[in-house]
Amino acid sequence: MKKKILIVDDELSIVRLLSLRLKANNYDIVSAHDGYECVEQAKSELPDLILLDIKMPGGGGINAFKNLKELDETKSIPVIFITAYPTAEVKKLVMDLGAQGFIAKPFDTELLTNNISKILHPKSD
């Protein structure tokens, strides 16, 4: 069964780029474009992973992440933040909140897909 990834970004070009790349890597893709829609899509789709932008409408990514962590059905979904604001403070904040990763825009899609693979397909020891 394919793993499902929720891409959340208000930049449609980013959503399109990520969708194409991840579909080519055999993932199912759903998308959202603001913080509110992120939470609603996560509850209805129950993705295996969320790629979440920080700065966007509808409460932003950090508030959406906090909301996801408060809901039983979504609290265990891993999240990788993708942001154009890659400061050390923001990275520390999201990692302290429980994010699985933090990648700066513009991002290297190979690095991103490697990080996704490590989370969704961990090698058993």
64 burial level (CB within 10 Å; 0-12, 13-18, 19+): buried
- Specify the pTM: 0.93
85 located within any domain: yes
Q: Which residue range(s) make up the domain with 100?
A: 4-120
CATH number of the domain where residue 42 is located = 3.40.50.2300
pLDDT attached to residue 124:
54
pLDDT digits (tens, 9 = 90+) for 31-58: 999 999 999 999 999 999 999 999 998 8
φ/ψ region of 46 (left if φ > 0, alpha if ψ in -120 to 50, else beta) reads left
pLDDT-derived band of residue 125, with 50, 70 and 90 as boundaries?
very low
Phi/psi at 36 (5° precision) = -65, -50
125 located within any domain: no
CB 115 within 8 A of CB 109: no
pLDDT digits (tens, 9 = 90+) for 18-27: 999 999 999 9
What mean pLDDT do residues 78-87 have? Answer: 89
The residues, ordered by sequence, that sit 6+ positions from 68 with a Cβ below 8 Å of its Cβ are 38, 39, 42, 50, 74, 75, 77, 79
> How far, in whole angstroms, is CA 17 from its chain's centroid?
14
pLDDT attached to residue 91:
87
Is the pLDDT reported for residue 30 higher than 50?
A: yes
Give how many domains the chain has, as a whole number.
1
Q: Which helix (H) or strand (E) holds 28?
A: strand 28-32
54 located within any domain: yes
